[in-house]
Structure 1
């Protein structure tokens, strides 16, 4: 699905009018026509951005503090479409996957606390069960990434697939991602979804009372009351969960927090209003089998601010104890959209009763 930033809305409106008149209109976005055969280094150019373009001195947004952002350009057609990411505890190594079945690993460069670029970047193909790169476009639609063990350099991660609704454990090294080792049994409620209701967000809980649990959310599958559906898979208390749907937003990603909770990234798109994003924090105490969770809105933004189709989120804690959220956008391989990476500092959770 193509989600257009405000900068492209006027162009899109013209194209839609032409299409309505019966003219031929080329596709606005197209995934790479061929599959990567092996991992290859790539050069990424980065242009700094401000979150508030009109007031670049502004640093506080909602309950978050802006740490910096970049507009990224890769010198290959395989660069883009990033839908999920993981960041190592140092905040200096990034692993991301795209909805074209491509992974990206890179070193994050900083100027003090401000992100300034990506270096040592490598792109490569996700492998199928046969050990060959995923070739069918439907099979390559990877949406969720959750690091289970190891580091962003070598370890095991769960990967979720939207079209054929699967979660598969992927061992990976510095230059190889897969093949997967089987697949997780999906909860009954996660079966039978249509193509655009698939498991969009996964987060592996590696601390606290939910340690060993994979939290999974559908993009927009709802229960009878209109709340977004999710599941606790494995761990001590597996079962269904729901997240109260606010303002028609869909879920695009989720990430575990160092203290045991979650952050959830959400998106809303309408041609009449452009694209919006929201970040919610859910405390560990809210995440329970059968629970309807609300969470705390940390930030809600429309495209008057410098956002695009924000699809990926990760969290790490710095040596000073500050928790940093890293977000990336999915450009859908469209010339009307951008690949953005941005970081915010997260406030400490409010402690109740002095605990």
Structure 2
């Protein structure tokens, strides 16, 4: 997906309209944005974000396999800045730094024990990194992963409360709009039904909220910019159900939002914290973008 986007975006550099439509669909309320630092070729291309339950500590992953850790600074819950350490390259199990070719890092999820899972596109697979480690200790594969399109692999990872890992590809090996959600359990991988792509939106990020619902960030590239959408789903062993529209932005409201982290703030509201990928193009900015849900909706859980 990244190669197609880079070519399309570069061709449209002189055509971008500097107008931001003010409206969006869904109950989520815009809370603010925060520009991310830039440092040559290392910082940029952010494709995944993971926050601590209080929305302060963060892990940011770039598509070139770099990890940035730090803390978000807030005033009255609003984004005002961040502090971070050095950019660190992630390494494969053999100790080699993850190179760009076949190692396009896309999704991330952190397990209750601190293990970091990262999905890679190109050579589709998932690597796990023990708490605090920068070298992978394990690799998760499934036969179905090899059938995914080269530029449409495992964009989204999410971990449920019980530690179960879920992976969602951007595209599948068929033209059908139904996309399997892969679930990694004690007996290996299985595919859950219930997720359907609609209106040209493709899944690019996911996270389980504190209400146990699965939130999926979707993207639609419309020629002059991106539209973004977030839907939430009830998840059971039978599959995904009860889709609810949480947010749908108009074209160019934000940049290329890819990563999503869902958490609950001190007022009891669910926050949707997303990160935009600048594709290493100076025309675009890397930003953290945040929305919040009204309290009644935030309390809805994964129950009947």
SS of 1:160's equivalent in the other structure is strand
Superposed, 1:16-55 pairs within 5 Å as none
- Which residue in 1 is equivalent to 2:244? 296
For residue 118 of structure 1, report the CA deviation from its aligned partner: 1.1
1:145 pairs, out of 105, 108, 117, with 108
Q: 1:123 to 1:245 in 2, by over 3 A?
A: same
Distance across 1 between alignment mates of 2:39 and 2:116: 27
- Which residue in 2 is equivalent to 1:183? 139
Distance across 2 between alignment mates of 1:238 and 1:128: 22
- Which residue in 2 is equivalent to 1:108? 72
1:75 pairs, out of 29, 39, 44, with 39
Choose 1 or 2 for highest CA Rg.
Answer: 1
Distance across 2 between alignment mates of 1:111 and 1:312: 23
Distance across 2 between alignment mates of 1:109 and 1:299: 25
Q: 1:349 to 1:315 in 2, by over 3 A?
A: closer
For residue 106 of structure 1, report the CA deviation from its aligned partner: 1.6
Contact 1:145 1:160 in 2 (8 A): yes
Contact 1:107 1:121 in 2 (8 A): no
Across the aligned residues of Structure 1 and Structure 2, the Cα RMSD in angstroms comes to: 2.9
Deviations 1:26-67 (A, max 9, x none): xxxxxxxxxxxxxxxxxxxxxxxxxx9576xx8x85210122
What is the number of equivalent residue pairs in this alignment?
Answer: 295
Q: 1:162 to 1:193 in 2, by over 3 A?
A: same
SS of 2:140's equivalent in the other structure is coil
Contact 1:109 1:116 in 2 (8 A): yes
For residue 79 of structure 1, report the CA deviation from its aligned partner: 0.5
Contact 2:211 2:300 in 1 (8 A): no
Contact 1:223 1:229 in 2 (8 A): no
- Which residue in 1 is equivalent to 2:229? 278
1:261 pairs, out of 195, 213, 216, with 213
Contact 2:125 2:145 in 1 (8 A): no
For residue 166 of structure 1, report the CA deviation from its aligned partner: 0.7
Q: 1:317 to 1:238 in 2, by over 3 A?
A: same
Distance across 1 between alignment mates of 2:43 and 2:187: 39
Contact 1:251 1:266 in 2 (8 A): yes
User: Are residue 118 (structure 1) and residue 66 (structure 2) matched?
Assistant: no
For residue 324 of structure 1, report the CA deviation from its aligned partner: 1.0
For residue 189 of structure 1, report the CA deviation from its aligned partner: 2.8
Give the TM-score of the pair, scaled to structure 2.
Answer: 0.86
SS of 2:151's equivalent in the other structure is helix
For residue 75 of structure 1, report the CA deviation from its aligned partner: 3.2
Contact 1:81 1:332 in 2 (8 A): yes
Give the TM-score of the pair, scaled to structure 1.
Answer: 0.74
Report runs of 4+ in structure 1 exceeding 4 Å deviation.
7-10, 52-55, 235-238, 349-352
